[in-house]
Chain A
Amino acid sequence: MYGNAYIDPSDKAAAMIAGEDSEKLEAFEKRIAAGEKIEPKDWMPKEYRKQLIRMIEQHAHSEIIGALPEGTWITRAPGFRRKLALMAKVQDEVGHAQLLYSAAETLGKSREAMINDLITGKSKYSNVFNYPAFTWADACVIAWLIDAGAIINQVANAKGSYGPYCRALDRICTEESFHLKYGHDNVVTLATGTQKQREMVQGALTRWWPPIMHFFGPSDKISNHTEILMRWKVKMASNDDMRQQFLNMYVPKIWDLGLVLPDPNLKQNEAGVWEYTEPDWDEFKRVINGGGPCNAERLAVRRNAEERGRWVREALNTSESKYIVPLA
């Protein structure tokens, strides 16, 4: 699971390719235009490397932090089968983090450096995980709809230009399809259950709708900057396009269950475009910058895990260990 990468809008297009060897740049762009993948040791523009590291790293952090709101309900999952399934899902998310950290490592940033940037709050992760899972139904809505959003994003990015990221995403998407089915099954069970169960899932959906609408990020103005990222196949679809795709696929499924979405303006117009109340982007910014209900807890839990596991990792380390950048 994952939210869209946050790309600093103040970066200017010209600065992105300043100082690059024009011949190499041309060959690089030609290779991408021809549908070839870029591999770790290939020449690449500095900005390509920088943007990919930021994006893949944020994606990895989102997976590992996302395991926390979902893990909240492992101890109290209703029934043994659901407990096992939720544990398997959470394990998958942590596995995804490892795959993604590995892909980012091939670009030259060590896993230690990435974890340090996460636990000091320097790197971001998907905003949705700064919200709490109040009930079991919240965990079900996350598993269905946040993972649905993540799949849209990841399927798009899997067609990108950087080989190691694409390979990690292919593997991830296969597992996400289990998450989506599992989440849908849980939501359907609640929505077709007792009055109390319906109220529970409706409550969770109402709580999670604003974060879900935030999930793909604010509208991206098509600037020269994003045009270059799209040409380099770093960014594969605009935030609005992905949001439309999500609404198109999932709003009908939600309405089928007789559930209500807390937006009176949500409708598909005659042209097939979904109209909705503009999400509160001030709230989005406030939360991404640390002001959300769970930001502090998430990072404290992560720091705690790193610190209390440190002696084990140190005890296992051997003096002849030597790090080199992974191959692919």
Chain B
Amino acid sequence: MIKSLDPRVTRAEIEIENPIAPLNELDQWETYEVFHQKKRGDQHMHVGIVHAPNAEMAFLFGKEQYGRRGLSVNIWVVKTRDVFVSEYDDSDIFDTVPEKQYREAGGYKVMAKINKYKKGV
């Protein structure tokens, strides 16, 4: 039995030689992605994951892990496997081209026309 400086350890009556079977797959459960909102009006943001057996516990762990200093007003949790993700290798799907200037505010320049018009008047 361990006689520890820590009374909690001594009370737990732990053998110093206590080999255990390895943890099995899923012993630590699956993961949930956690999103929080820092204050009302903000977007929810991804903050990390928790391991949990169900959504209710993921919520509790998420609150404890990411919200224990009053920095959140709202939390979402979702199973990692339910999130559809794009691949970084395919990031060219987000590429744009100069011809798409019509989508941009900067694609509309009218001052030259206005100035020319004013001069002509």
Question: Hey, which bits of chain A sit against chain B, CB under 8 A?
Answer: 39, 41-42, 68, 71-72, 74-76, 91, 95, 98-99, 102, 105, 110-112, 115-116, 119-120, 132-134, 167-168, 171, 296-297, 300-301, 303-304, 306-307, 310, 313-314, 316-318, 321-328
Contacts and interface: CB of A to CB of B under 8 A. Distances in A.
A115 B46 CA distance: 26
A163 to B, nearest CB: 11
Contacts of B9: 68, 297, 301
9 contacts: A74-B8, A110-B28, A297-B2, A297-B4, A301-B2, A313-B27, A313-B29, A323-B26, A328-B46
Contacts of A134: 5
B87 A306 contact: no
Interface residues of B, number: 45
Contacts of A313: 27-29, 53
Contact of B20 (A171, A303, A314): A303
A326 B33 contact: yes
B29 A310 contact: no
B22 to A, nearest CB: 5
Contacts of A99: 48, 65
A104 to B, nearest CB: 12
A324 B48 contact: no
A174 to B, nearest CB: 9
Contacts of B33: 326-327
A71 B8 contact: yes
Q: Which 4 A-B pairs have the closest CB atoms?
A: A316-B53, A72-B6, A112-B23, A111-B28
Nearest to A175: B69
A242 to B, nearest CB: 26
A102 B66 CA distance: 13
B38 interface: no
Contacts, number: 122
B75 interface: no
A98 B53 contact: no
Contacts of B100: none
Nearest to B31: A326
B105 interface: no
B80 A115 contact: no
Interface string B18-55: 11101111111111010000000000001111110110
Contacts of B48: 99, 102, 167-168, 171, 328
Nearest to A164: B48
A105 B33 CA distance: 13
Nearest to B2: A297
A297 B31 CA distance: 31
Q: Which residue of B9, B28, B29, B47 has the most chain A CB atoms within 10 A of its CB atom? A: B28
A109 to B, nearest CB: 12
Contacts of A317: 26, 29, 53
A60 B98 CA distance: 47
Contacts of A328: 46, 48
A318 B14 contact: no
A41 B88 contact: yes
Contacts of A41: 87-89
B15 interface: yes
Contacts of A323: 25-26, 30-31
A101 to B, nearest CB: 9
B113 interface: no
Q: Which residue of B49, B64, B87 has the most chain A CB atoms within 10 A of its CB atom? A: B49
A67 to B, nearest CB: 11
